[in-house]
Structure formats: C-alpha cells, structure tokens
Amino acid sequence: MGKLRVYFGYLILILIAISMLYPFFVMVNLSFVKNDEIFNQAGNLFYTGLTFENYKNVFVQIPLSRYFFNSLLVAAVTTVGQVLFASMAGYAFARLKFWGRDTIFLIILITMLIPPQVNIIPLFFLMREMHLIDTYWALILPGLFGGFGVFMMRQYFLNYPKDLEEAAKIDGCNLFESFFRIALPLALPTVVTLALFTFVTTWNSFMWPLIVTNSESMRTLPVGLAIFKGSFREITLWGELLACSVICTIPVIGVFLLGKKYFINDIMQGGVKE
C-alpha cells in the first residue's frame, strides 16, 4: 500500500511536469516553422520541415542583440547588488545589536505589503529629478534594494552559529572579514536562491523598463518584444514572435541550471528542523 501511494505520487508529478513542459515544447517546435505553415502544424509535435528562417529574420527586423544585452546587463548588475546589500543588511539585523533594529526591520517588512504599482509614480518622478530617465541607472537602481531579500538573508543568519563568530574574533578577523570570509560563503545556498529569484524577476520585468526608457537602444527584451508585436499591421509574424520568446527563456533556464544544486539544498535545509 505504501509503495502504491509513492508510485501514485510520482504519476501525479509526472503529469504536472508534462502539462507545464508541453506549451514550452510547442513554442520551441513552432519557432522553427515557417509563418504560413504554423497553424497547419500546431498539433504536429514532430514536424520535420524545420528552418532557422524565423531566427534570422528577427535579428534583421529588430535590434534583438541590443535588447538582449540591455536585459542581461540590467539583470546581472541588479542581481549582484541585491544579493550584496540584502546579505549585509540581513547579517546586521540578525547578528548585530543597535538602536531601533527591530523597528527598522518591521518597517522593511511593511514595505513588502505595498503593491509594486504604487511605487511606480514616485520612483518615476525621483528618476526624473535625478536626470536618470532613459539610462541604465533608472533600470538598475530601484531593484538594488528589496525587503524580501533582507528578510530572506536575516532568517538564514539567525541560525548562524555563534561559535564561528567568536572563533573569527580570536583569529583577528574584524566584522567585515568575518562576514565576507565565513558567514557569506556558508550562506551560499540562500544567496544563490535569492540571486535566482532576483534575476528572473528583473529579466521578466516589463512595466518599469517600459516607463523609464524612451530610445530603442535602451529597451529590454520584454519591452522590445511587446513593441515588436504591436508593430504588426496586417499579418502577425508568429514565427518571429515565437523565436523571440525562445531567446528570452534561454538565460533564465541557463541561470537556473547553474544554481539548481544550491537552490535545492536551500529548500531542503529550510524544510529540516533540528
């Protein structure tokens, strides 16, 4: 009975995985099909007449390489900044004692309850007053700080062994050396998990880049893809759109595969209570 229950659980997981992977497989398959044959081949998952024409055309019709570079630069810098600042703030709130610590942390938690859409207008006016509209700074700065990252890192450092701090002091390490040499490397699974969340969120961001960018050279991939779709008048180039969508997913999949081991370890550590 126990084995039957396990097999049934595996069957459910397999069905869920297939239901989630099927649309992605269809998107990849149809991105290699010519526009005039897409709707005829939509149900054929093993179409043999595949072509790279859609991928070649999309690089000619729009500056896709520029969009890709902008998205990659913004996502990478934002991820590094978010991880660095959130780790330092989380360590301070968990391990250091200073006046107003709990009150400040409570305020940070409250900011997590505010919908992101509420902050768009104040942030836009702030960027405009700083003359940062249509620059990389406008795309990067708002994402460098976030309450979720601080909360996530603080929860990890609350369980950080105090003996390691004392051993570091005995060895002559100051606060920053103890953090960067000992605490941060031990928090690698949590750091990678935060990095994955930040990278995916920033990479898929649409509303903020749409508002603060004006020139074509500053557009990110989601914005460029939406404008490309809106440029159609008579015939929708579904093949090119699907090719763009596939290209958009490649970095996200690559980043997840690189950090998969640490991501799974962090989930397992969070689910085990000693």
Instruction: Quickly list DSSP for the chain.
Output: -HHHHHHHHHHHHHHHHHHHHHHHHHHHHHTTS-GGGTTTSTT-TT-S---SHHHHHHHHHS-HHHHHHHHHHHHHHHHHHHHHHHHHHHHHHHH---TTHHHHHHHHHHHTTS-HHHHHHHHHHHHHHTT-TTSHHHHHGGGS--HHHHHHHHHHHTTS-HHHHHHHHHTT--HHHHIIIIIHHHTHHHHHHHHHHHHHHHHT--HHHHHH--SGGG--HHHHHHHHHHT-SSS--HHHHHHHHHHHHHHHHHHHHHHHHHHHHHHHHHT---
Domain 69-219 -> CATH class:
mainly alpha
Which pLDDT value is given to residue 38?
Answer: 74
Q: Residue 69: pLDDT above 60?
A: yes
Mean pLDDT calculated for residue range 210-236:
82
Which pLDDT value is given to residue 271?
Answer: 45
Domain boundaries, the chain: 1-61+232-257, 69-219
Q: Whole-model pTM? A: 0.86
| 132-168 residue pLDDT tens | 999 999 999 999 988 899 999 998 888 888 888 778 7
**Mean pLDDT over each residue of the chain, to the nearest integer:** 84
| 20-47 residue pLDDT tens | 888 888 888 888 888 777 777 666 666 6
pLDDT band per the 50, 70, 90 thresholds, residue 66: very high
